[in-house]
Structure 1
Amino acid sequence: MKIQKVTLIGLGAMGVFFAPQLEDFLGKENFRVLADGERKQRLEDKGVTVNGINHKFHIITPDTTGDEADLIIMAVKDTGLSKAIEDIKNQVGKHTQILCVMNGIDSENQLAAVYGWEHVLYSYMRISISMKEGKADFNPQLGKVHFGEADNTELTDRVKAVKELFEASGIKYQIDTDMRKGLWFKFMCNIGENMTCALLEVPFGAFRESEHANAIRHKAMEEVIAIANRLGIDLGEEDIKRQDARIQQIPFGNKPSTLQDLENGRLTEIEMFAGKVVEMGKELGIDTPYNWMFYHAIKVKEEKLSGRFLP
C-alpha cells in the first residue's frame, strides 16, 4: 500500500500542522482540503497563514466523486464531527485509511460504525497551536501526531504506509505500542489543562506559577484515571508526573482550545470533555465533582456569550 492522495477536512489549528508539508511533498493536485459553502469561499479567497506564509490549498467539495483518497485526515471539532463523517463519504475508497486527530475518545468508534475498522486507525495530536483569523504560528518540531492500531507490537501494512508518508513529508509522528492508553492519556491532559484554563481564564503558563491551578488540574485528571482504570486502561499518577514535566515546555501565553473558543465567542467542545467524564462517571458509579463543576460552569460561560444574561 502506498499513499499518494491525501484529503484533509478541518483546516484549523490541527489541520495546519499537516497541510503545508503534505502539499510540498504530494503536490497541489494530490493534497486536497475538503470544504464547502462559506468556508470553501473563504479558503479560496484568503487561504490560511502558517508561520507567516499564506497558503491557498486545492479545495474540493463533498460532492466530488471518482477521486477517492488513500488517506483522509480529519481535524474537525467535536461539534462538526457528524457532518464531517457524512462529508467524507465520496472520498472513501476500497483501501482508504482515516486518521481522526481531534480531541476526545469517541471519534474512532463513530467513524468505524459508518465505514468499518478496516478504514480507521487510532490517532491523536500532541501540540499546542493557537489560531486566530486564519493565522497560526507554532514550532512544528515541538509536537507530533500519534497514530496506529490499538496494539502496535508489530506494525501492519497500513500503519507502515502512513509512517512512510509522514517520514517522506517531514511530519513528526509517534506510533504508540498501546494507542488506547495514548488516547486516554491525551484525554486526561485535555481535561486537566483545557478545562482548568477555560474555567479560570488563564493560559498554560498558569501551571508554571500557581499551585492552586495545578491543584485543580491534578484533581480533574485523577477523575479520568479512576474511569480509565475501571475500563482496563493503565493510567496512573506517573502519567500525571510525566505531563507535569511536559507542560513546562508549552509557551507561557499559549491557550488551550476551549479558552480560545470562549474568547472568540464560539461554542466549546464541553460535551466531549467534562460532559463525557460526568456521563461515564455516572455509568460506572465514580464521583466526578471537578468535571461536574467544569461542565456546568463552562455551560454558563456559553450562555453568557449568547447574551442570555443581558438586561
Structure 2
Amino acid sequence: MEIKTIAIIGMGALGVMYADHFSKKLPEKSVRVIADQTRIERYQKEGIYSNGEPCYFHFVTPEETMPPADLVIFTVKYRALPEAMKAVKNQVGKQTILMSALNGISSEKDIGEVFGMDKVLYCVAQGMDAVKEKNQLIYANKGRLCFGEKKMEKPTGKVTAVANFFDRVKLPYEVDHDMKKRQWGKLMLNVGLNQTVAVYETDYGGVQENGKARDTMIAAMREVIELSIHEGVELNEEDLSYWLNDLAKLHPRGKPSMRQDAEAKRYSEVELFSGTINRLGKHYGVKTPVNEYLYQTIISMEEKYEKLPQEN
C-alpha cells in the first residue's frame, strides 16, 4: 500500500506542526485538515502561523464526502477524541491506517473499538518542543513520531507503508518493536514533566537543571516505574535516563502542553497523567504520594478557572 492522502484532526501544536510539514511536501488537497465549519471560518479569518510563516491548509468538514484517506492522524486532546472519531468517519475506509499522537495509554484502544484494531498503529510523539499561543506555533525541535504494532517481531504491512511515507515526506520517525513499553515510557515522562512544569509555573529549563522542581519530576516518574512492573512493562532506571536525556535536548524556554493549558486557563489532561497513576496505585496497593500531590494541586488550580469554552 502506498500512502497518498492524509487527514489530520486537531489544530493544537502537534496538529499544526504536522499539517504544515505534510502540506509543504505533498500535492494540493492531499492533506485534509478536518474541522467543523465554525472553526474553519475562524482559522481562515485569523490565519495560522508556524514559526512566523503563514500556513496554507486544505480544510474539510466532517460532513463532506470523498474517497477515504490513506492515513488519519489524531492530534486532539483526549477529552475531544470521541467527537474527533465521529468527525473523521467519512475519511476512514477499508485500507485506512489510523494513528494517534495523543498523550496517555488509552487512545489506541478507544479508536480500535470504533474502527477496528486492524486499522490502528500505536504511536508516540516524542522530542518536540512546540508551543502554540492562539494562532501562533513556535518550535525549535520537531522531534519524531515513534510508531509500530503493540508488539512485533518484524514490521507489518501497515508499519512499512507509514515508514515509506514518512521517508518520502522527510518526517523524522522511529519504528519501535515494543510500543506498549514506549507508551509507558512517554507516560512516565508526561507524568513527571508536564505536571511539574505546570505546578511550579516554569518551563523546560526549570526542570533541566537541579533543584526542587526536577526532584519532584523524577520522584513522580519513579512512581510510574514501580507501577509499570505490575502492568508487565517493567520500566527501569535505564528507561528513566533515556527519557531525561530526551528532555535535555528540548529548548529551555519551551513549555509542555499542560503548562500551556494552565497559562490559557484551559482544563488539562491531569486525569490521563496522575489520575491514571493514582488509580493504578490504589488498584495494586502501591503508594503514589508525589502524584497525589501533583493531582490535587492541579485540580485546585483548575477549580479557579472560569467556565470558558475549551479548545480541542
TM-score range with shorter-chain normalisation?
A: over 0.9
Shift of 1:66: 3.4
2-structure distance, mates of 1:270, 1:208: 22
Aligned 1:103-122 pairs, distance under 5 A: 103-122=103-122
Letter of the 1:187 counterpart = L
* Counterpart secondary structure, 1:245: helix
Q: Which runs of 5+ in 2 are unaligned?
A: 308-312
Give CA-to-partner distance per residue, 1:82-101, whole Å, 9 cap, x none: 11122111111001011100
2-structure distance, mates of 1:110, 1:246: 28
1-structure distance, mates of 2:306, 2:102: 25
Shift of 1:125: 0.4
Moved over 6 A (4+): none
Shift of 1:18: 1.4
2-structure distance, mates of 1:243, 1:233: 16
* Counterpart secondary structure, 2:96: strand
Shift of 1:38: 2.7
2-structure distance, mates of 1:173, 1:226: 29
* Counterpart secondary structure, 2:252: coil
Shift of 1:119: 0.9
Q: Measured at CA, do residues 139 and 167 of structure 1 come closer, stay the same or move farther in structure 2, by a change above 3 Å?
A: farther
Shift of 1:259: 1.0
Q: TM-score, normalised by structure 1?
A: 0.94
1-structure distance, mates of 2:50, 2:277: 34
The residue aligned with 1:297 is 297
Give CA-to-partner distance per residue, 1:1-22, whole Å, 9 cap, x none: 1111100001211112311221
Shift of 1:306: 2.4
Is the aligned partner of 1:159 residue 2:159? yes
**Identity in percent:** 35
Contact preservation (8 Å) 1:144, 1:171: yes
- My pick for the range that moved more, 78-87 or 181-190, is 78-87
Aligned 1:257-276 pairs, distance under 5 A: 257-276=257-276
2-structure distance, mates of 1:208, 1:267: 25
The residue aligned with 2:245 is 245
Letter of the 1:295 counterpart = Y
Contact preservation (8 Å) 2:129, 2:140: no
Aligned 1:1-311 pairs, distance under 5 A: 1-126=1-126, 127-140=128-141, 142-306=142-306
Contact preservation (8 Å) 2:194, 2:259: yes
Q: Which runs of 5+ in 1 are unaligned?
A: none
CA RMSD after TM alignment: 1.4
Letter of the 1:159 counterpart = V
* Counterpart secondary structure, 1:123: strand
Letter of the 1:294 counterpart = L
Q: TM-score, normalised by structure 2?
A: 0.94
